[in-house]
Amino acid sequence: MKNYLSLILLMLGGHLWAQRPPFTLDEVLSMSHGTSQLMDARDLGVYYLRNDMDSLKVVIAQYLLSEHEDMKALGYRFQGGYAYRSGDVSGGVYFLNKSAAQFAQVERWTFLSEVYNELGNAHWVSGDYLSAGKNYRKSLDAGKNALDNTARFNAYLGLGKTKCVLGDSAMGIFYVGKYLEEAILHEAWESASSASGFLSDLYTAKNDEKLADAYLKRSIGYAQRSGSLIHLSNVKNNAAMYHFRKGELDSSELLFRESFDMRKEVGQSKEICESYYNLGVFYLETGDTLTAVKWWIEGEKFADEMNMPSERLDLLNELQIVYSKQRDSDQLRDVQREISVTQHKMNADKSDPVMEGVLAIASERRGALGDDHQYAMVVTVLALLMSAVLVWHRRA
C-alpha cells in the first residue's frame, strides 16, 4: 500500500479543475458573428461538456436559437455530445451528423474535424468499431485543412484504440503514442490523460505491471492539469478498477467513491449508473452483500428516474442474482416483475422527438419578445424541454 501513497495524495490534491468558464454565455452571444465568435462559443460548450452538463443544456438551447446556421451546427454538435454521453447513442449520432453536414457545407474544417471525432467516439461507445474507425479517419482528413493544430491529430487516439480492438495492436500503439506526443507538445492535458489511461489498460492486459503503473500515474497527473471534472472522474474510476484487480481494496474503495461524488456533481447520468454498479460489485466481491444490494437498489431507482432502462436492467439483474442465492422469494418476485417492465420499456416502439418543432416555435416567438426577461423564460423552458426530450428519446 505504501507504494501507492503518493498516487492517492495526487488524486486528492489541489482542486485544479475548479475553473470558471472562459466566457459567459451573454459575452459569447453579444460578439459579432464570425470565426472568432464560433471558436469562443465552442470553447464555452466544451467547458460545460466537461464540467456542468445541466448548464450545457441552456447553452445548447441558445445556440440552436441562433439565426446563423453554423452556430446552430455548433448547437447540434453539443446536443449530440450530450446525448451519447447520457446514454442515447442513436440520438447523439443523429445530431452530430446534422452538425457535420452543415460544417462540411461551409468548409469549417476545424469544427468538422471535431464533430467527426465525436462521431467516432459515439460509435465507439456503442461497440460499432468499424463506423468509429471510419469517422476517426474522416476527422483526420478534415484536420489536414484545419488551422487549429489539435484538429490535425485529435482522432489518432480513437483510431489507435480501434486498431487495437480490431486486432492490430502494433499499429494501434503507434497511433496512440503519436497522439500522446502531440497532446503533450500542445499542452492538451485531457487528451494526454486519455492516451496514457488507454496505454495503462493495454499494458495491464499484457501483464506488464511496470508500464501499466507508469502510464496510470501519468494519466492521473495529466487529468489534474486538464481542468475537467468529467475526465478526472473517469480516470479515478479506471484507477479504482486497477487497484481492485491488484487487491488494493482501500485505495480502490476511496477512488470509486470519489469518482461517484464527482459524477454526481457534474450530472453524468450514464456514468453515475456505472458508479452505482461498480460500487455494488466492489462490496459484493469484498463480502459485504448488504452494502452491495444498497448501492444497486439506489442505482436502479436513479436509472428509473432518468429513464435509462438499459442501465436499470443491469442493476436489476445483479439484484436478481443475489435474491436468488438468498432464496428471498418476495424480493426476487418484485425484482423479476421490474425486470419484465424494464425489458418491455426497452422494446417499446418510440417515436422520434420533435426537437425541430420545438425550436421552430421558439424561433418564431423570439422576434415578438421585446422583453429580455420573457425571452430568458422561453430559453429556460426550451432547455428543460430539450432535457426531457433527450432522456425520453434514449434507446437501449
> DSSP characters for 75-139?
HHHHHHHHHHHTT-HHHHHHHHHHHHHHHHHHT-HHHHHHHHHHHHHHHHHHT-HHHHHHHHHHH
pLDDT above 90 covers a percentage of the chain that reads 47
CB 151 within 8 A of CB 114: yes
pLDDT of residue 346: 77
**Cα-based angle 32, 60, 47 (whole degrees, multiple of 5):** 85
- CATH code assigned at 296: 1.25.40.10
**Cα-based angle 87, 88, 93 (whole degrees, multiple of 5):** 125
**Domain residue limits at 319:** 253-348
Residue 269 cell numbers, joined: 447520468
**Cα-based angle 63, 188, 252 (whole degrees, multiple of 5):** 100
Give 122 or 34, the one with higher predicted confidence.
122
Dihedral sign computed on CA atoms, order 271, 275, 276, 277: positive
Question: What does the alpha-carbon distance between residue 296 and residue 316 come to, in Å, rounded to a whole number?
Answer: 7
pLDDT of residue 75: 95
Residue 157 cell numbers, joined: 487516439
pLDDT digits (tens, 9 = 90+) for 90-124: 999 999 999 999 999 989 999 999 999 999 999 99
Q: Please state, rounded to an integer, the average pLDDT across all residues of the chain.
A: 81
- Whether 171 maps to a domain, the answer reads no
- Whether 313 maps to a domain, the answer reads yes
CB-count burial class (<10 Å; 0-12, 13-18, 19+) for 133: buried
- Whether 305 maps to a domain, the answer reads yes
Read off the pLDDT band of 224 (50, 70, 90): confident
- Whether 227 maps to a domain, the answer reads no
- Whether 276 maps to a domain, the answer reads yes
CA–chain centroid gap for 44, Å, is 16
- The DSSP letter of residue 2 is G
Question: What does the alpha-carbon distance between residue 381 and residue 88 come to, in Å, rounded to a whole number?
Answer: 21
- Whether 46 maps to a domain, the answer reads no
- Whether 63 maps to a domain, the answer reads no
Q: Report how many domains make up the chain.
A: 1
CB 267 within 8 A of CB 225: no
List strand residue ranges (DSSP E) for the chain, in order.
Answer: none
- The DSSP letter of residue 148 is S
Please count the CA atoms within 13 angstroms of the CA of 28 that sit on its side-chain side.
22
Question: What does the alpha-carbon distance between residue 87 and residue 273 come to, in Å, rounded to a whole number?
Answer: 10
Read off the pLDDT band of 372 (50, 70, 90): very low
Question: What does the alpha-carbon distance between residue 355 and residue 346 come to, in Å, rounded to a whole number?
Answer: 21
- The DSSP letter of residue 143 is H
DSSP string spanning 22-34? SS-HHHHHHSPSS
Question: What does the alpha-carbon distance between residue 291 and residue 293 come to, in Å, rounded to a whole number?
Answer: 5
- Whether 228 maps to a domain, the answer reads no
Per-residue pLDDT at 267 exceeds 90: no
Point out the least confidently predicted range of 45-59, 218-232, 349-363: 349-363
pLDDT of residue 348: 67
pLDDT of residue 19: 53
